[in-house]
Amino acid sequence: MITSTNLIARYAETDAQGVVHHASYLVWFEEARSDFLRQRGLAYSDMERDGFFVMVTGVEVSYRAPAFFEDRITVETTLEKARSRMLEFSYKIRNQENRLLVEGRTRHLVVGADRKPHGLPKAVLDKLTPSSC
């Protein structure tokens, strides 16, 4: 499943030349990942309330072209892998001209309230994983 999240590059996310700072893309990954979950009927806040936390264990980013202040951004998010204790997402960020700006990937470990690895409940995994994941 691929979801799309739309954003506008904010002034605070840019440098003095109006170019989006490289770290801003990680924030956009996180926003798109949260939106992915909401579109699947889940929310981080509900998972955390139930004692499950999704911690980032790895990030890969390939910068292809810059984004600029007030660009209209679309982040395509795909859940590449979903296991009981591990999730992996990929991202493609494009501007309003459909130009590919960034490709990336994040890996996550699911932990419990004790911060030790813990499996997600089957009901959560079922919402996350269409038959192709």
pLDDT digits (tens, 9 = 90+) for 70-97: 999 999 999 999 999 999 999 999 999 9
How confident is the model over 11-41, as pLDDT tens digits? 999 999 999 999 999 999 999 999 999 999 9
> Rounded to two decimals, what is the model's pTM?
0.92
Q: How far is CA 68 from CA 19, 91, 114, in A?
A: 5, 19, 41
Does residue 7 have a pLDDT over 80?
A: yes
Contacts of 116 (CB under 8 A, 6+ apart): none
pLDDT number for residue 129? 82
**Fold exhibited by the domain 2-128:** Thiol Ester Dehydrase; Chain A (3.10.129)
117-120-77 Cα angle (round to 5): 100
Instruction: Give the active site residue among 15, 46, 50, 126.
Output: 15
Reply yes or no on whether 126 is catalytic: no
